Amino acid sequence: MLNGKHVVIGVTGGIAVYKVVDVVSRLKKLGAEITVIMTKHATEFVTPLTFRSLSLNYVVVDMFEEPKTWNVEHISIAQRADLFLMAPATANIIGKMAHGIADDMVSTVVMATKAPVWIAPAMNTGMYTNPVVQRNIDDLKSLGYNFIEPDSGRLACGDIGVGKLASPERIVETISKAMVRQDLKGKKILVTAGPTQEAIDPVRYITNHSSGKMGYAIAEAAKNRGAQVTLVSGPVNLDKISGIETIDVVSAQDMYDAVVDRMDDMDVIIKSAAVADYRPADVSDHKMKKSDDDLSIALERTKDIALEVSKKKQNQVVIGFAAESQNVIENAKKKIDKKDFDFIVCNNIITEGAGFKSDTNIVTIVDKDGTVTEYEKMLKKDIAEIILDKIR
Distance CA 134, CA 155 (A): 19
Q: Are 279 and 198 in contact (CB under 8 A)?
A: yes
Alpha helices in the chain (DSSP H): 17-29, 48-55, 73-80, 91-98, 105-112, 125-128, 131-142, 168-179, 213-224, 252-262, 305-312, 328-339, 380-389
Q: Are 148 and 170 in contact (CB under 8 A)?
A: yes
Q: Residue 284: its pLDDT value, please? A: 93
Residue bearing the bigger pLDDT, 61 or 154: 61
Q: What is the DSSP letter of 273?
A: -
| Residue tagged active-site, from 49, 56, 72, 157 | 157
SS3 203: coil
Tell me if residue 346 is catalytic: no
Distance CA 79, CA 113 (A): 6
pTM for the full model? 0.72
Q: Are 313 and 338 in contact (CB under 8 A)?
A: no
Of the chain, the end-to-end C-alpha distance in Å amounts to 17
Q: Residue 49: its pLDDT value, please? A: 95
Domains of the chain: 6-179 (3.40.50.1950), 188-285+294-389 (3.40.50.10300)
Q: Is the pLDDT of residue 72 over 70?
A: no
List all residues 6 or more positions away from 308 whose beta carbon is below 8 Å from its beta carbon.
256, 260
DSSP 140-193: HHHTT-EE-PPEEEE-TTS-EEEEEPPPHHHHHHHHHHHHS--TTTT-EEEEEE
Q: What angle do CA 51, 56, 57 make, to 5 degrees?
A: 80
**Which region among 4-13, 73-82, 276-285, 340-349 has the lowest average model confidence (pLDDT)?**
73-82
Confidence of residue 74 (pLDDT cuts 50, 70, 90): low
Q: Is the pLDDT of residue 116 over 80?
A: yes
Confidence of residue 65 (pLDDT cuts 50, 70, 90): low
Q: What is the DSSP letter of 342?
A: S
Give residue-wise pLDDT tens across range 308-326.
Answer: 998 899 989 999 999 888 8
| Nearest alpha-carbon partner for 384 in 184, 238, 195 | 184
Q: What is the DSSP letter of 274?
A: B
Q: Are 274 and 195 in contact (CB under 8 A)?
A: yes
